[in-house]
Amino acid sequence: MTDTMNAVVYTALNTFEVTRVPIPTPGPGEFLVRVEAAGLCHTDLDILAGAYAADFPRIPGHEFAGTIVDADHDYRGHIGARVAIDPLIACHHCRNCTRGYPNLCTRGEAYGAERDGGFSEYAVVNAQNAHRIGSLCMPVAALAEPFACAVNALERARLAPGLRAAIIGAGPMGMILSIALRGWDVHDVTFADRIPERLERARTFGATATAVVEGSVTEVLPAREFDLVIDATGRPAVVQDAVSLLADGGTLIPFGVCPPGSQLTLDPFEIYRRQLRIIGSFSLSRGIPEAVRILQRSGFPLAELITTRFALTDGAAALAAIGGADTVKIQFDPTIDSAPQ
């Protein structure tokens, strides 16, 4: 093994390069992980554009899995373990941490933002951030982070089995949320999206009904019929319309990331009288182990969620592919044409 590796490096706002960098060395309580799958998401574009806080230069990538290849003396027994990475690093001492919200840590950091992440052949991570994946293949294991974000949302919603759900937006997170709902015994899931091809894929992953949206979602989905409505688009107008879809006692999760400063118009009396709930959910909160269990138990063809895999040397093409109508999850495979000799 050489002492350098390929990596995608954000050198400044809106500027990145694929280059050779030194292979990091694990310190006390850390692992060196050979990255074998690393997912891309829109947050990676937001970091590059300055819409999500990060330090530069930085190796991005917060959805990754791989094999532990080195560790400090006290952790060498873990070498060879196959793991998925929790990207959030909490202080465990601030008020939010002690109240059970490490994802809201006031001094928190994350791999791929404040610390180097997984768009590289190797990454150093804290030992407590690495979770064993059993026999899961690496591409599916790298889905643990977005699945853990879904787990955080659904745990906060306190779901009851058998409710009727609607997901607006059949992109990557819409698919993941639908699959994760099965862990709460929710099987009646309606999807709405503007792209018919995405709805066809949603049926593969358990959608019981689908609706093509041309104008407002309220034109194609019935009012006051859904116990749970999840917005996976991040569009304020869609979130606004989603309120009218809620049945009495229903819960709305605005899961998609709306632009800061967005506003909704709500009738407080309706929320009171119909006992509606609007649940916020940010990132993941110690949910990687549960996400791994969901992935291990799922009967859906999870590998089909990964529609394209790129070598690190194809970094520009990979970033440009995020959000494409014909894609679900895009991943880097750092072992393709980029393994150090």
Write out pLDDT tens, residues 250-301. 999 999 999 999 999 999 999 999 999 999 999 999 999 999 999 999 999 9
Structure confidence by residue, pLDDT tens digits, 122-170 = 999 999 999 999 999 999 999 999 999 999 999 999 999 999 999 999 9
The CATH code belonging to domain 156-278 is: 3.40.50.720
Confidence bin at 1 (pLDDT 50/70/90): low
pLDDT of residue 327: 84
Confidence bin at 323 (pLDDT 50/70/90): confident
DSSP strands (E only) in 79-206 = 82-85, 88-89, 109-110, 122-126, 130-132, 164-168, 188-193
- Residue 14 sits at φ, ψ, to 5 deg, of 65, 20
The closest alpha carbon to 117, from 84, 161, 82, 87, belongs to 87
Sequence ranges of the domains in the chain:
4-142+301-332, 156-278
Judge contact between 282 and 259, C-beta under 8 A.
no
Q: Is the pLDDT of residue 339 over 50?
A: no
- Report the percentage of the chain scoring pLDDT > 70: 99
pLDDT of residue 25: 96
Domain 4-142+301-332 has CATH 3.90.180.10: yes
pLDDT of residue 2: 82
Taking the alpha carbons at both ends of the chain, their separation in whole angstroms is 5
